[in-house]
């Protein structure tokens, strides 16, 4: 049986989709909505929280809940979109136990860290931390066209260039620090992406950790079907 707060969310979602509740419209006070749906105030708030995580409703302190204007989602790993501004900072740190293990370097190796924060208007869209063993000079005026810092990673380092990246994507709630940086609730799900950049011979040359708010980001991957290394080699031989 569907939980009561989900039923309330379903009905409000239907009203928004049909236009009965218009963009920018203020929803009735929570006590009134709770009475209308014959649920407790905590149950009603659970329903509204669900709609907020979907980007349909926005709450302003002291003003109430409003139907949110749809925002253009940032698509991972496609890259930048119109109206996106990316701010980059960089510095040299020493490898922690975790970073040393991920990069395959000795503990306390010098690592260049790039922090890329993307904004649309005044709203943070994503945070990316990229780590490269410090084989090149420290870049203080780093710039990137990608919210993930791909071009910074691929241009850095004095080792062989990365041939591919392995992405591990996890849905979770943000840490308090992540929520503060992204200006989201700690109950707003995020996509946490761990990227490992590797050469053809298996050498790890960089590692990145991305945090993407679930209400303004989606992931889209293109996977070839029916093509294997063996079939590709046979096609090449037949030419």
What residues does each domain of the chain span? 4-67, 74-219
CA distance 83 to 99: 33
Q: DSSP for 80-100?
A: --TTEEEEEEEEEEE--HHHH
For each of the chain's 239 residues, which pLDDT tens digit applies?
789 999 999 999 999 999 999 999 999 999 999 999 999 999 999 999 889 888 889 888 889 999 988 777 888 987 556 788 999 988 899 999 999 999 999 998 999 899 999 998 888 999 999 999 875 544 545 677 889 988 887 766 555 678 889 999 999 999 999 999 998 888 889 999 999 999 888 889 899 999 999 888 888 888 888 755 554 454 445 44
* Domain 4-67 class, CATH top level: mainly alpha
Structure tokens that stand for 106 in this block: 């000795």
* Three-class secondary structure of residue 35 per DSSP: helix
User: Comparing C-alpha atoms, which of 175, 178, 176, 164 is closest to residue 115?
Assistant: 178
* pLDDT for residue 230: 54
| Cβ neighbours, 10 Å, residue 169 | 15
User: Comparing C-alpha atoms, which of 185, 183, 190 is closest to residue 52?
Assistant: 185
* pLDDT for residue 175: 96
* pLDDT for residue 233: 53
The pLDDT tens digits of the residues spanning 50-90 come to 898 888 898 888 899 999 887 778 889 875 567 889 999 88
DSSP state for residue 113 in the 8-state scheme: E
Fold adopted by 74-219: Chorismate lyase (3.40.1410)
* pLDDT for residue 33: 95
* pLDDT for residue 160: 65
* pLDDT for residue 122: 84
| Pairing, β 64-67 against β 74-76 | unpaired
């Amino acid at each position: 049986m569907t939980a009561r707060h989900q039923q309330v969310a379903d009905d409000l979602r239907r009203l928004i989709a049909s236009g009965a509740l218009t963009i920018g419209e203020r929803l009735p006070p929570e006590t009134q909505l709770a009475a209308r749906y014959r649920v407790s105030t905590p149950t009603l708030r659970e329903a509204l929280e669900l709609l907020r995580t979907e980007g349909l409703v926005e709450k302003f302190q002291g003003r109430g809940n409003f139907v949110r204007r749809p925002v253009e989602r940032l698509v991972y790993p496609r890259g930048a979109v119109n109206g996106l501004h990316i701010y980059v900072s960089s510095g040299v740190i020493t490898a922690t136990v975790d970073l040393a293990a991920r990069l395959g370097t000795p503990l306390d190796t010098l690592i260049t860290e790039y922090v890329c924060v993307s904004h649309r208007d005044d709203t943070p869209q994503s945070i990316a931390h990229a780590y490269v063993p410090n084989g090149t000079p420290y870049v203080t005026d780093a710039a990137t066209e990608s919210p993930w810092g791909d071009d910074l990673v691929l241009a850095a380092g004095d080792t062989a260039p990365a041939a591919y990246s392995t992405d591990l994507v996890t849905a979770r709630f943000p840490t308090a620090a992540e929520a503060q940086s992204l200006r989201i609730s700690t109950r707003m799900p995020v996509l946490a992406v761990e990227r490992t950049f590797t050469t053809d011979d298996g050498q790890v040359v960089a590692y990145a950790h991305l945090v993407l708010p679930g209400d303004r980001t989606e992931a889209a991957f293109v996977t070839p079907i029916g093509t294997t290394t063996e079939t590709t080699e046979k096609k090449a031989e037949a030419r």
